[in-house]
Structure 1
Amino acid sequence: MSIPSSVAVLNVVPVSPPTAPVNNAFQDRISLTHFDLLALRAPPNQRLFFYETHLPISAFAETVIPKLRDSLSLTLQNFRPLAGTLIWSLHSDEPYIRLKNDDLVPLTIAETDADPQKLFDDPFQQETDLQQLLPPLRVSETEASLLALQITLFPSSDICLGITFHHAAQDGASLALFLKSWAHICRHGDDPPLPQNLIPIFDRASINDPKNIKQLFLDHLLTPLTPGGPRNRSVKPMEKPFNDRMHGSFRLTVDDIENLRRRITSLQVHNTSQEPPVRMSTVVVTCAYVLTCFVKAGLTKKHVRFILPADLRKRLQPPVPDNYYGNCVFGCTVDMSSDDIARQDGLVVAAKAISSVVSELDANDHRKFFENFLLNNTISQEETKVGVGGSMYFSLDEKDFGWGGPKHLKNIPPWPNHIYIAERRDGDEGVYFCLMLAKQEMAAFESKFLDDLKLLEKWSC
């Protein structure tokens, strides 16, 4: 195993925004939208970014940590709600983010004697080992912190930035905005000020909700855990349902993706139906292929419920600003038969189904999708849920704190059977994704994934 149990915590530094009373821009609370409520009890999201600093070890305590700490404090001046606390009091009809003058973000400082190169060279790690590089959130039934950070030093002077965040506060696009802003301030300080596109907008009026979707979710969340019991106001994230699973990293090259497109096109030639053409986007093609590998590796039951997240910032009316901070993502669901996906043309079956749900999202009333989600939120005994998270469009190069962009990234999927698509470097057109599976399941998936890529290469010759 690449990471021994010798990750030692040296200190936990409380980092607060610059000393100033809570101002009128934030007042003392931030409300949640229906998109935030959708993620209220989801497991925490976690990221690991690995950097090569090329600095002497002594610089870690003398310059690296002070620079990261001080720039984080300056960044929190604009991202103040991230230092706040998510609460749902008995006297409140809905949860909210409470802001106080003594709010802080914990920054854990740690060191390890692990060899980072072995970690990078090995695409598979135990999830419990990676957790040593990640900080915990402070959570209870009634309160939850929103962000925790950890900096771990390796003997090679490489460092790892570990991030754990409560999903009710932000989606992937918002986290990317926070990291870009922090990295910018770490490199340049606050003079000149942050560019306007790196300053977040927390105004919940940016999310238009004329059909009161929010109330649908509040009623759903408040449902008592037992008949006749008290209304459920918990803000505690669900525990990750892992039992020492394996974390696996995979890649599809540009050639792999083009081969998949050709294969889908060739299989469609024999289709005489009048169905609309399949979207050949990189995301659709990637998800269709990974889903077929899941099924052919024997990792699904009779039916599959596939969940594809869609960023609705540009789809809402009016559109939401790119620098809006919060959640603006919804998981579109499509149900499929494992037998259909296992057929020779299963790649087309999966691609059509995934393509169709994206088209529906573009054309239909969003309230319908939320209503269907609440009505069909349970999974039957004969059904396997396979989800997608992350995005390839968040650039790694934008997370340069002064030592260049991250050399490696590891996303920790919040669920089993969850395909987590990773951001990539500028100019890299490949797709990186990770999974969390039991050891034998990971071996079965890897075998099918690699074998079918070889077959695709032969078909394309």
Structure 2
Amino acid sequence: MASSIRVISKSTIQSAARNSDSPLKIELSPWDLEALLLDFLQVGFLYPNPKENKDTVIQNLKASLSSTLDFFPQLAGRLTVVEHDDDTSSVFINCNNSGALFIHAVAEGLTISDILLPVYLPPIVRSFFPLTEAKSYQGTHKPLLAVQITELVDGIFIGCSFNHTVSDGRSMFHFLTSWSQISRGVGMLSKPPTLERWFLDGTDRPIRIRFPKEKVNHSRLLLEERVFHFSKEKIAELKAKANAMVSSNYKISSLQALMAHLWRSIIRNQDMDPKEEVEFVMVIDFRPRMNPPLPLNYFGNALEDGMVTMKAGELLNQEGLGKAALEMNKAVASYTHEKIIRHMKSWLEDPKLLTVSDMFADVVDMGGSPTFNGYKIDFGWGKPVAIRSGPGDKSHGTIIVFAGPEEGDIYAEVHLPYKTLEAMAKDHEFMDAVTPAVGFFTAAAVKKMTTPVRSSL
């Protein structure tokens, strides 16, 4: 599968309708500012070749991206830093229409099967994502949105990178869904974004922080990645099993049961001391948890990290599935409006910027959400056959979840050492819940998806 990436062109895509002479300025909330040191959010979509020719597809994607930026002007802007006399800085989004980055590339000789059939993510897929080395605070001079269209022999991969200060996962998928709708010919969006950020009453604005003056380096430990697919039926079995282990006062969700199942296998296959404490971190979207709730189309960061801590032996005993799922359930339920406000007040008193090592050192952490349905991202030539996240902000034990190809399915990308992933593949208790599938296709079906002639893209 040896292949190389050849860049055909790079261009800047601006909003067609925005006037950069008097740009909109968007102040950043504490939740946005926390992400300044983090990598860009990244997600990509793999499609079979469209029927249209190459030039038509690329020009349509550029034109529809420009039209979509009319509704999302912050993604065509840049960060602006204002330095103050007390050695602090404030940051805002200057919607000056500097533009998004658009890259057109070719992966010579690479096919869809080369990406989907290997057990582990082929390393070349990481090169399908732009700005993989960028940090969010570099949005002062780097685009806040970058897109790379990579041609394969029989398909295309659309890799997208979003500055994490500007967007969280829900906002990212809101934009991508909007872009795909406009690409299909929808003139006006049914759910335009809410651009204004939410602030606690009485917050001194702009918020001042210690902005990094020097380049912040994060040692990127690129481990193996493997995708596990879980069908609606298998998830229902796990959910029923977990609920049978807990009091009827609690209702374990499908995601909580599945994450407990995954966590148990990861810990079981690392030969840990039963007395050792293990931690699981999950991202909690608190838009619906505020009082009143934030709109679901609130565009920005609205996340908190919920943590569960257990002894390894407690997690792995006979009732461990129910216990772990229950602790996750309680952690999520604890994030009330009042708790979120307390966290914000505490942060405002002592602002701290997150780093990957601070957040995820020696833990299993879950990002993404099964509400993010990338299989509905249709640019006019059908649904993707697979979704993959990029290398940004991944560490030992990172799990990224998305909705699966069929309703109720969930798939999880798991980032761990090869030895651990191999052990999980031999873990019969874990693998009993895994459904062999690659995107919409079984491995056997993917093998038949060969295109001998490069007829379109």
- 1:341 is displaced (CA, Å) by 0.9
Give the match for residue 147 of structure 2.
149
Aligned pair in 2 of structure 1 residues 121, 354: CA closer, same or farther (>3 Å)? same
Counterpart Cα distance in 1 of 2:230 and 2:433: 14
Counterpart Cα distance in 2 of 1:401 and 1:79: 18
User: Which of 124, 128, 133 is the matching residue for 1:129?
Assistant: 124
Matched, 1:422 2:402: yes
Aligned pair in 2 of structure 1 residues 160, 300: CA closer, same or farther (>3 Å)? farther
Alpha-carbon contact 2:243-2:251 (below 8 Å) kept = no
Give the match for residue 298 of structure 2.
324
Alpha-carbon contact 2:365-2:399 (below 8 Å) kept = yes
Runs (4+) of structure 1 moved beyond 6 Å?
371-380
Counterpart Cα distance in 2 of 1:188 and 1:255: 36
Per the alignment, in what secondary structure is the counterpart of residue 306 of structure 1? strand
Aligned pair in 2 of structure 1 residues 400, 236: CA closer, same or farther (>3 Å)? farther
User: Which of 243, 251, 260 is the matching residue for 1:288?
Assistant: 260
Aligned pair in 2 of structure 1 residues 184, 38: CA closer, same or farther (>3 Å)? same
Aligned pair in 2 of structure 1 residues 32, 237: CA closer, same or farther (>3 Å)? farther
Aligned pair in 2 of structure 1 residues 375, 291: CA closer, same or farther (>3 Å)? farther
Per the alignment, in what secondary structure is the counterpart of residue 124 of structure 1? coil
Counterpart Cα distance in 2 of 1:161 and 1:187: 16
- 1:436 is displaced (CA, Å) by 1.5
Alignment of 1:390-401 (within 5 A): 390-401=368-379
Superposed CA offset, 1:386-425 (max 9, x none): 2111111122343111001211111236222111101334
Alignment of 1:41-440 (within 5 A): 41-55=37-51, 59-60=53-54, 62-91=55-84, 93-101=89-97, 103-112=98-107, 113-126=109-122, 128-136=123-131, 143=140, 144-156=142-154, 158-188=155-185, 193-197=187-191, 199-204=192-197, 207-210=198-201, 212=203, 222=210, 232-233=211-212, 239=218, 241-243=220-222, 245-268=223-246, 277-298=249-270, 302-362=276-336, 364-369=338-343, 384-412=362-390, 414-416=393-395, 417-425=397-405, 427-440=406-419
Structure 1 residue runs without a partner (length 5+): 223-231, 269-274
Superposed CA offset, 1:177-214 (max 9, x none): 1111111111116xxx31341x212112xx24137599
Give the match for residue 448 of structure 2.
none
Alpha-carbon contact 1:43-1:239 (below 8 Å) kept = no
Alpha-carbon contact 1:30-1:97 (below 8 Å) kept = yes
User: Which of 15, 18, 29 is the matching residue for 1:17?
Assistant: 15
- 1:42 is displaced (CA, Å) by 1.9
Superposed CA offset, 1:240-279 (max 9, x none): 6224x212100122232222233324444xxxxxx77443
Aligned AA (2:409): G
Aligned AA (2:10): V
Q: Give the fraction of aligned pairs with identical amino acids, expressed as a percent.
A: 23
- 1:444 is displaced (CA, Å) by 2.3
Counterpart Cα distance in 2 of 1:340 and 1:365: 28
Aligned pair in 2 of structure 1 residues 97, 340: CA closer, same or farther (>3 Å)? same
- 1:140 is displaced (CA, Å) by 8.5
Alpha-carbon contact 2:403-2:409 (below 8 Å) kept = no
Counterpart Cα distance in 1 of 2:136 and 2:30: 22
- 1:86 is displaced (CA, Å) by 2.1
- 1:342 is displaced (CA, Å) by 2.2
Aligned pair in 2 of structure 1 residues 90, 211: CA closer, same or farther (>3 Å)? closer
Aligned pair in 2 of structure 1 residues 140, 398: CA closer, same or farther (>3 Å)? closer
Output the TM-score relative to the length of structure 1: 0.81
- 1:299 is displaced (CA, Å) by 7.1
Tell me the C-alpha RMSD between the 2 structures: 3.2
Aligned pair in 2 of structure 1 residues 279, 123: CA closer, same or farther (>3 Å)? farther
